[in-house]
């Protein structure tokens, strides 16, 4: 009963947001802020057009490559800093201070190194994602009870076997938290990359729509991105809760 | 203690070695100066730029904006947190929004704000507050949740009024959590303002970097990047220091 009431309250808030949107539309005018209804109509008509799908595919590809890099490098660095005490003590504070820097200042450097194409945006996305993955993996591995490692030594496991059969399974729930946060910031990084000096992808579409004063397109892309990010996060959270229960 | 300093020393050596390697690679031409300039050149370029005074207006504008955004987010977020805490039903309805808020790229709304308000300070302030305020609201809710129940009784025993209870008992008890919110608000505000300036803005340090990049003016660009990284590192160091003091007080209170 409380669950349904809570869901109803959340729904009321969502409706309230749409009403707020409509009010903003009335104040700001058609070009700056299109009405919710016309935006949804635009969304339905344009979602399946080749242009939209091409940009969606570009962003999806960039996100995929960036995640691959961020997860691969982040996990490797995290396992290293978590398992090797001295490296961890030396390296972790460096990663923490890098994590809190505004990465956008480094985007021109990334562009100079990787160029204006897809690789620049991939590298920039990965730059965002790699640090939380590495940091949470480090923490997760360090939190493993030492007795597990002693057991691995007793069983004479190789370093690789120790990592895959002892360290990773024990650290999995927290590592997965890192992967989820990594996903969020990598997506943000890819989109920021697309919003600057790029012609392809959803981020570029929004900037382009701004210049052409196409409010419906801006809101459509924003809604698609919000829905995608919220869904992906919900899915990853679901998996995370399952992992924690095991 | 001896181990701490040894690790600190190794860290310093590692960082120095990395910078030294970059310096060497740039000086020997292994890294093209059109891609990265030597760290020593970045520093000297920044020095010249700062000494010329031509950057003062943009520094004042950008740091002022960050200050404004942070202050607004902290004050409004704190007030909103208190209001939401007092309304449990609203809070339950808002929980899913809070849980998803930092998972969706809110920044994507920046162009929409420009379409509404034009290319002025308003979109930057709004996107900055939108990015930073929710962290403060969540931190305020967390802090208020963790005010021990026993303090209610303490207040009654000492016959404290509502305001005295809030100021003398509840605020100090929630302070460490509030500080976490302040810390996040500062760093989110910083990132959002710089990102907004960088992507589309009439002026500011972020815009300067984008311009220098477009002009292939690497000395200026790297000087500006170095400046922002130094400012960000200093702010983080101060916040980290304060955080350590709060942490010490927290563990002291527990012991």
Structure confidence at residue B188 (pLDDT): 92
- The C-alpha angle B215, B122, B67, rounded to 5 degrees, equals 85
Give tens-digit pLDDT for B165-188.
777 888 888 888 899 899 999 999
- Shared domain check, B120 and B29: no
- By Cβ distance, the residue of B107, B187, B194 closest to A100 is B187
- B105 and A225: CB-CB below 8 Å? yes
Task: Select from A86, A133, A10, A207 the least CA-distant residue to B99.
Answer: A10
How far from A220 is each of A37, A48, A57, A203, B232, CA to CA, in Å?
Answer: 11, 12, 16, 12, 34
Most confident of the ranges A98-107, B69-78, B101-110:
B69-78
- Shared domain check, B109 and B171: yes
- Shared domain check, B90 and B59: yes
Q: Which chain A residues have a beta carbon less than 8 Å from that of B225?
A: 105-106, 108-109
Tokens of A238: 């679901």
In SS3 terms, chain A reads as: CHHHHHHHHHHHHHHHHHHHHHHHHHHHCCCCCCCHHHHHHHHHHHCCCHHHHHHHHHHHHHHHHHHHHHHHHHHHHHHHHHHCHHHHHHHHHHHHHHHCCCHHHHHHHHHHHHCCCHHHHHHHHHHHHHHHHHHHHHHHHHCCCHHHHHHHHHCCCCHHHHHHHHHHHHHHHHHHHHHHHHHHHHHHHHHHHHHCCCCCCHHHHHHHHHHCCCHHHHHHHHHHHHHHHHHHHHHHHHHHHHHHHC
Domain count, chain B: 2
Structure confidence at residue A8 (pLDDT): 85
ipTM of the shown complex: 0.85
Q: Please state the rounded mean pLDDT for residues B44-60.
A: 93
Mean of pLDDT over chain B: 88
- Shared domain check, B124 and B94: yes
pLDDT-derived band at B4, boundaries 50, 70, 90: low
Give tens-digit pLDDT for B140-157.
999 998 888 888 788 888
**A105 CA to chain B: closest CA distance, Å?**
6
pLDDT of B2 above 60: no
- By Cβ distance, the residue of A10, A97, A184 closest to B96 is A10
Q: B59: part of which helix (H) or strand (E)?
A: helix B56-86
- Shared domain check, B80 and B3: no
The percent of residues in chain A predicted with pLDDT above 90, rounded, is 42
- Shared domain check, B127 and B4: no
Least confident range of A8-17, A19-28, A54-63, B148-157: B148-157
- A192 and B114: CB-CB below 8 Å? no
Least confident range of A4-8, A144-148, A172-176, A227-231: A4-8
8 A C-beta contact, residue B100 and residue A233: yes
Tokens of B115: 């379409």
Give tens-digit pLDDT for B127-139.
999 999 999 999 9
- By Cβ distance, the residue of B100, B111, B232 closest to A207 is B111
- Reported as half-sphere exposure (CB side, CA atoms, 13 A), residue B245 has a value of 7
Whole-number Å distance between alpha carbons of B35 and B156: 67
Here the CATH number for the domain that contains residue B83 is 1.10.3720.10
Task: Select from B170, B172, B83, B87 the least CA-distant residue to B133.
Answer: B83
- Shared domain check, B12 and B64: no
Query: What CATH number labels A35-245?
Result: 1.10.3720.10
Task: Select from B99, B117, B64, B63 the least CA-distant residue to B228.
Answer: B63
Provide the residue range defining the domain that includes B1.
1-36
- Shared domain check, B30 and B46: no
Whole-number Å distance between alpha carbons of B172 and B159: 18
- Shared domain check, B7 and B89: no
Q: Pick the residue with more confidence: A215 or A63?
A: A63
């Amino acid at each position: 009963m409380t669950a349904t009431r809570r869901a109803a309250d959340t729904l009321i808030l969502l409706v309230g947001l749409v009403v707020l949107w409509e009010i903003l539309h009335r104040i700001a005018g058609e070009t700056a802020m299109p009405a919710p209804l016309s935006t949804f109509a635009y969304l339905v008509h344009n979602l399946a057009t080749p242009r939209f799908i091409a940009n969606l595919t570009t962003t999806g590809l960039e996100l995929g490559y960036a995640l691959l890099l961020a997860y691969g490098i982040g996990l490797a660095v995290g396992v290293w800093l978590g398992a090797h005490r001295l490296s961890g003590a030396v390296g972790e504070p460096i990663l923490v201070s890098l994590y809190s820097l505004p990465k956008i200042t480094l985007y021109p450097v990334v562009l100079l190194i990787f160029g204006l194409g897809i690789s620049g945006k991939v590298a920039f996305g990965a730059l965002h994602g790699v640090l939380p993955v590495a940091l949470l993996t480090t923490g997760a591995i360090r939190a493993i009870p030492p007795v597990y490692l002693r057991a691995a030594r007793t069983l004479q496991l190789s370093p690789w076997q120790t990592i895959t059969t002892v360290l990773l399974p024990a650290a999995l729930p927290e590592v997965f938290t890192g992967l989820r946060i990594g996903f969020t910031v990598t997506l943000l990084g890819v989109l920021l990359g697309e919003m600057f000096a790029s012609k392809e992808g959803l981020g570029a579409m929004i900037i382009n729509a701004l210049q052409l004063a196409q409010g419906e397109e801006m809101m459509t892309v924003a809604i698609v991105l919000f829905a995608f990010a919220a869904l992906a996060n919900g899915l990853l959270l679901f998996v995370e809760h399952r992992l924690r229960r095991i | 203690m001896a181990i701490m300093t040894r690790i600190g020393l190794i860290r310093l050596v590692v960082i120095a070695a990395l910078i030294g390697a970059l310096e060497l690679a740039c000086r020997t031409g292994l890294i093209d100066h059109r891609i990265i300039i030597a760290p020593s050149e970045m520093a000297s370029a920044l020095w010249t730029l700062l000494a010329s005074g031509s950057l003062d207006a943009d520094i004042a504008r950008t740091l002022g904006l960050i200050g404004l955004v942070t202050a607004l987010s902290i004050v409004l977020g704190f007030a909103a947190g208190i209001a939401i805490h007092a309304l449990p039903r609203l809070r339950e309805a808002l929980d899913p929004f809070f849980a998803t808020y930092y998972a969706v790229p809110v920044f994507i709304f920046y162009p929409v704000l420009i379409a509404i308000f034009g290319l002025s300070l308003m979109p930057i302030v709004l996107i900055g507050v939108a990015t930073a305020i929710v962290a403060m609201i969540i931190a305020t809710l967390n802090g208020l949740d963790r005010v021990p129940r026993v303090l209610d009784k303490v207040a009654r025993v000492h016959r404290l009024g509502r305001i005295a209870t809030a100021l003398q008992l509840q605020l100090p008890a929630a302070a460490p959590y509030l500080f976490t919110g302040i810390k996040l608000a500062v760093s989110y505000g910083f990132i959002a303002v710089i990102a907004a300036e960088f992507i589309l803005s009439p002026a500011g340090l972020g815009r300067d970097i984008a311009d220098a990049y477009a002009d292939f003016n690497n000395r200026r660009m790297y000087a500006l990047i170095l400046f922002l990284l130094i400012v960000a590192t200093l702010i983080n160091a101060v916040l980290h220091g304060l955080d350590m003091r709060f942490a010490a007080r927290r563990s002291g209170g527990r012991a």
